Amino acid sequence: MAQLDVREKLEILADAAKYDASCASSGTAKRSSAGQKDGIGSTEGMGICHAYAPDGRCISLLKILLTNSCIFDCHYCINRKSSNVRRARFTAKEVVDLTLAFYRRNYIEGLFLSSGIIRSSDYTMEQIVEVARSLREDHGFRGYIHLKTIPDADPLLLEAAGRHADRLSINIELPTVAGLARLAPEKDSTRIEGAMGALKSSIEDGRDAVKRYRSAPSFAPAGQSTQMIVGADAATDRDIVGRAASLYDRHQLRRVYYSAFSPIPDASTVLPLKRPPLMREHRLYQSDWMMRFYGYRPQEIAAAADPASGMLPLDIDPKLAWALRFRESFPVDVNRAPREALLRVPGLGVKAVDAILATRRWRRLRLEDVARLTRGIAKLRPFLIAADWRPVALADSADPLPQAAAPREQLELFAA
Amino acid sequence: MPLVRLDAEDDSDGWRAAARALALAEIPPDRISWQVGDAPADLFADAPGPLPPPVAGAQFGVPRRFVDLAESVILHSDPQRFSLLYAMLMRLRREPGLIGDEADPLLRRLEDLAKSVRRDIHKMRAFLRFREAPDDDGEPRFIAWFEPEHHILRANAGFFVRRFATMRWSILTPRGSLHWDGDTVLEGPPASREDAPEGDPIEAVWKTYYGSTFNPARLKIDMMTKEMPRKYWKNMPETALVPGLIAAAQRRESQMIATAHAAPPVHANAAKALEALREEGAHCTRCPLWKPATQTVFGEGPADARLMFVGEQPGDQEDLAGHPFVGPAGQLFDRALAEAGVDRAAAYVTNAVKHFKFERRGKRRIHERPNAGEITACRWWIDQERQIVKPALTVALGATAAHSLLGKAVTLSKLRGAPIALPDGSEGWVTVHPSFLLRLPDEARRAEEYAAFVTDLRRIGERVAALA
């Protein structure tokens, strides 16, 4: 095979990585190059999206695979060994040079490196770690590094990965164990979760050490995340929310990413036969948000789903869906209700709720006061009592709000 | 009307000093006119004069939040910002706690101004693009052209210093410029776009990345423009690709719909992938059938075959030979294919179950029908063979094969003789297994069934030709 130049490799290996949903570069330790003799880069806690693609996703990191060759054959994956995509492989140096060249021009916040598995898990992980090591040690790179780790790899390699990286992630791949067994039979959910558990304790140990000894090396200061594919198997939203909640609890993940399955059968030039379920993905992110910031328990989100199908409505957001199912909890008095109750009002975000609470010390809020603190009042009115406003009780009113429309069933690509 | 002259648009120290003196002198907000540098003053303003003399011993504090808010708001390009801030200051003198009244209209207006400034600062950090150009001494310098909306250039310098401390860089804007030599920030005059260099070769590589990381299956143009408004596009190299990417995504999608059921392209890699699969299949232990069997009998035929036959499982002779359809049933199958005018060499022939299942009776090994569990275990292989070969038409020979292909037990007679749409968009057919013909005791019945089998095969051959 003719040698590919770096640009051709980049084309193949960026394309191969684009199905991974995670891209955030936030939440790591602060670093700076100010006053340093050499090296480059900084992180300031908040990640920066340096560009947006027409698919609406942000580009924050150089997100590529080291190679898209893989000894595994997971059905949902474009890089599975039976796929006919063009294969390419970067050297560690090529990735390092690309990252630095892009970083110097302010195109990116850093690198997100993943890889197909070649030869063995250890060999592949070694290559991934070598890129991060070289960036940090040979080039003094202080930007963000996110490494995808391989669950089976030697713990020493994972240790090294955590020393160099800001964030580590292990993909849970599919929301149910049955789905994983069917679509990725060579992967094993027990091993995956075992590796997540090990990472969790390394991260905790690292935090602890940094607290005690200033010179202790940090271990993945931005924590660990995971990704699951939505829409490749028959898992319901209720299954997915439950799985995500248990992952957050058990392994203290920073984020669970949901990636709508693009049923792209083969080469990247062939589009899927069906658009990926983007709205479903969006609703799952909203439900994730509800768990992390609004204090909903996973069972409550499950209760917002359709009882028969277990799916969240696609036409309304899950917070509104919950409110419509539990109408007895509304309306809520903006001038009296506790924070937790206000957070459940559809259309009120965390910022608006905090602003309402601060304002209550100064005045009794009227509807127009609430309007100044939020994006729009129309959606809120049926759920709120204000100084000058009392809605007809929701439970008594004829349905004033959109109801779940026609049944929505997602087709399964690998339906038996 | 007192006129206050500030040194620069972002002169927050100047504003604070003046505002403090004016507030202590109890000058009301509507009596003051604020002016920056030599900009023309308000028609009714006085000539700039000295600020009111400091009031002896008078001090007043303002909440920290107001100080921070004022620092941001002063960077806004709205000329009203100074007087709005002063009005707020006057109110806070009497009641500093009012800064917590979030619903207050003036506070909201100031917060909106501050938010717009913060956004502009963030977008500059995000969307500014350096280009490499040699300095006078031949060393590399990175130069950027950016057009901020507000007076944020100086306030944002720290970020670029912290990040690119060991690089030499310049940021040129219509409102002024910054130059960093690795040691100090020098301020320069406003610049124009022509002052910035063009043509950094890395730009082409970056564009390659931008184009490749875009997933055409997920077009969301509104999301993109919400976060990356068009006003920034002209100074970002990658955005030149956007119209092409959008157009191509839509074109590729409509083409895909138009040709959804056309023949998939033949890939050069298929033969290799099939070889790897066969190699792997040789060690299959997915169900217990591998133990008594001699070897895995994998499918055979061209990797780009348009027609695939799926039999039940290897028999006694296949198990020994390692090839499918070589025993008595295979020979009958060959004869029927020849009569029907179908070229077996062009077809891929395989079995639903890859290991011989048998019951030993004396010295003979008698074929035993695979059960549903074994069929399901072996679907792993047949699915992959079908994914690699991508036949336009797959024929299930017999009930076991049909079970494997369709994922459930079916009645052959009900499905026979008509195309079945398979989930991958290709076509499936079912007919009897040739060994069924061998087992018929009645000669007349056998001839009849054989003729029906040949008829099926002929129709299948014609159908494959038609699908081409």
The pLDDT tens digits of the residues spanning A35-92 come to 988 999 999 988 999 999 998 889 999 999 999 998 887 777 778 887 778 899 999 9
Sign of CA dihedral A242, A165, B201, A89: negative
DSSP secondary-structure letter at A386? B
Interface contact B220-A81, CB threshold 8 A: no
The ipTM is 0.89
- How far is A280 from A237, CA to CA, in rounded Å? 9
Comparison of pLDDT for A98 and A272, the residue scoring more: A98
Task: Tell me which residue of B235, B231, B196 sits closest to B120, measured CA to CA.
Answer: B231
Residues of A in contact with B236 (CB under 8 A): 51
Looking at this protein, which amino acid is placed at residue A86?
A: R
Half-sphere exposure of A183 (CA within 13 A, CB side): 28
Buried b (16+ CB within 10 A) or exposed e, A140-155: ebbbbbbbbbbbbbee
Task: Tell me which residue of A346, A352, A353 sits closest to A325, measured CA to CA.
Answer: A346
Nearest residue in B to A107, CA atom: B129
Nearest to A51 among B210, B223, B245 (CB): B210
Residue A278 sits at the chain B interface (C-beta within 8 Å): yes
Can you tell me the mean pLDDT for B434-439? 91
Interface test with A, best of B198, B212, B275, B404 (most A CBs within 10 A): B212
Find out whether B208 and A10 touch, Cβ atoms under 8 Å. yes
Interface contact B216-A51, CB threshold 8 A: no
Token digits for B100? Answer: 């917590």
> Based on the number of CB atoms within 10 Å of its own CB, is A333 exposed (0-12), middle (13-18) or buried (19 or more)?
middle
Interface contact B103-A359, CB threshold 8 A: yes
pLDDT digits over B147-166, tens only?
Answer: 999 999 999 999 999 999 99
Instruction: Quote the minimal CA–CA distance from B389 to chain A in Å.
Output: 10
Q: Are strands B185-188 and B347-351 parallel, antiparallel or unpaired?
A: unpaired
pLDDT digits over B60-73, tens only?
Answer: 788 999 999 999 99
Interface contact B227-A49, CB threshold 8 A: yes
Can you tell me the mean pLDDT for A208-230? 88
- Backbone phi, psi, residue A64, to 5°: -140, 165
> Based on the number of CB atoms within 10 Å of its own CB, is B8 exposed (0-12), middle (13-18) or buried (19 or more)?
middle
Token digits for B198? Answer: 């063009």
Interface contact B200-A10, CB threshold 8 A: no
- How far is A159 from B175, CA to CA, in rounded Å? 48
Looking at this protein, which amino acid is placed at residue B204?
A: A
pLDDT digits over B193-208, tens only?
Answer: 999 988 899 999 999 9
Percent of chain B with pLDDT over 70: 92
- How far is B298 from B382, CA to CA, in rounded Å? 9
- How far is B313 from B353, CA to CA, in rounded Å? 5
The radius of gyration computed from the CA coordinates of chain A, to the nearest angstrom, equals: 24
Interface contact A51-B238, CB threshold 8 A: yes
Nearest residue in B to A30, CA atom: B162
Interface contact B164-A50, CB threshold 8 A: no
Strand ranges, E, within B352-445: 358-361, 364-367, 393-397, 420-421, 427-431
pTM of the model: 0.74
Can you tell me the mean pLDDT for A228-232? 84
Nearest to B407 among A15, A62, A416 (CB): A416
Find out whether B33 and B42 touch, Cβ atoms under 8 Å. yes
Nearest residue in B to A264, CA atom: B217
Interface contact B205-A7, CB threshold 8 A: yes
pLDDT value at residue B46: 63
Helix A278-293, helix A318-325: angle, nearest 10: 70
- The number of residues making up chain A comes to 416
Interface contact B103-A107, CB threshold 8 A: no
Query: Dihedral through CA B343, CA B344, CA B347, CA B351, nearest 10?
Result: 160
H or E element, residue B252: helix B242-258
Comparison of pLDDT for A3 and A87, the residue scoring more: A87
Interface contact B425-A44, CB threshold 8 A: no
Lowest mean pLDDT among A180-194, A277-291, B298-312: A180-194
DSSP secondary-structure letter at A129? H
Residue A19 sits at the chain B interface (C-beta within 8 Å): yes
pLDDT value at residue B293: 87
Computed over every residue of chain B, the mean pLDDT equals: 88
Can you tell me the mean pLDDT for B170-177? 95
Q: Cβ contacts of residue A321 below 8 Å, gap of 6+? A: A304, A305, A312, A313, A404
Residue B255 pLDDT exceeds 60 = yes
Helix B64-73, helix B12-24: angle, nearest 10: 130
Residue A230 sits at the chain B interface (C-beta within 8 Å): no
Find out whether A119 and A70 touch, Cβ atoms under 8 Å. no
Interface contact A82-B252, CB threshold 8 A: no
pLDDT digits over A320-372, tens only?
Answer: 999 999 998 999 999 999 999 999 999 999 999 999 999 998 889 999 999 99
pLDDT band at A402 (very low <50, low <70, confident <90, very high): very low
Percent of chain A with pLDDT over 70: 90
Q: Cβ contacts of residue A58 below 8 Å, gap of 6+? A: A23, A49, A50, A51, A52, B227
Comparison of pLDDT for A377 and A144, the residue scoring more: A144
Can you tell me the mean pLDDT for B313-339? 91
Token digits for A81? Answer: 């060994």
Residues of A in contact with B214 (CB under 8 A): 18, 53-55
Interface test with B, best of A69, A99, A105, A361 (most B CBs within 10 A): A105
Instruction: Quote the minimal CA–CA distance from B212 to chain A in Å.
Output: 5
Nearest to A50 among B126, B203, B424 (CB): B126
- How far is A155 from A199, CA to CA, in rounded Å? 9
Find out whether B293 and B284 touch, Cβ atoms under 8 Å. no
pLDDT value at residue A407: 43
Instruction: Quote the minimal CA–CA distance from A399 to chain B in Å.
Output: 31
> Based on the number of CB atoms within 10 Å of its own CB, is A137 exposed (0-12), middle (13-18) or buried (19 or more)?
exposed
Residues of B in contact with A14 (CB under 8 A): 208-209, 212-213
pLDDT digits over B354-390, tens only?
Answer: 999 998 888 888 888 898 888 988 988 898 899 888 8
Q: Which of residues 31-50 of A touch B (CB under 8 A)?
A: 32-42, 44, 48-50
Nearest to A54 among B131, B214, B256 (CB): B214
pLDDT digits over B306-323, tens only?
Answer: 999 999 999 989 998 889
pLDDT value at residue B445: 92
pLDDT digits over B12-53, tens only?
Answer: 999 999 999 899 888 998 888 898 887 665 656 566 666 777
> Based on the number of CB atoms within 10 Å of its own CB, is A56 exposed (0-12), middle (13-18) or buried (19 or more)?
buried
Neighbours of B91 (CB within 10 A): 16
Instruction: Quote the minimal CA–CA distance from B158 to chain A in Å.
Output: 9
pLDDT value at residue A270: 35
pLDDT digits over A93-116, tens only?
Answer: 999 999 999 999 999 999 999 999
Nearest residue in A to B229, CA atom: A52
Please report the number of interchain residue pairs, chain A to chain B, with beta-carbon separation below 8 angstroms.
219
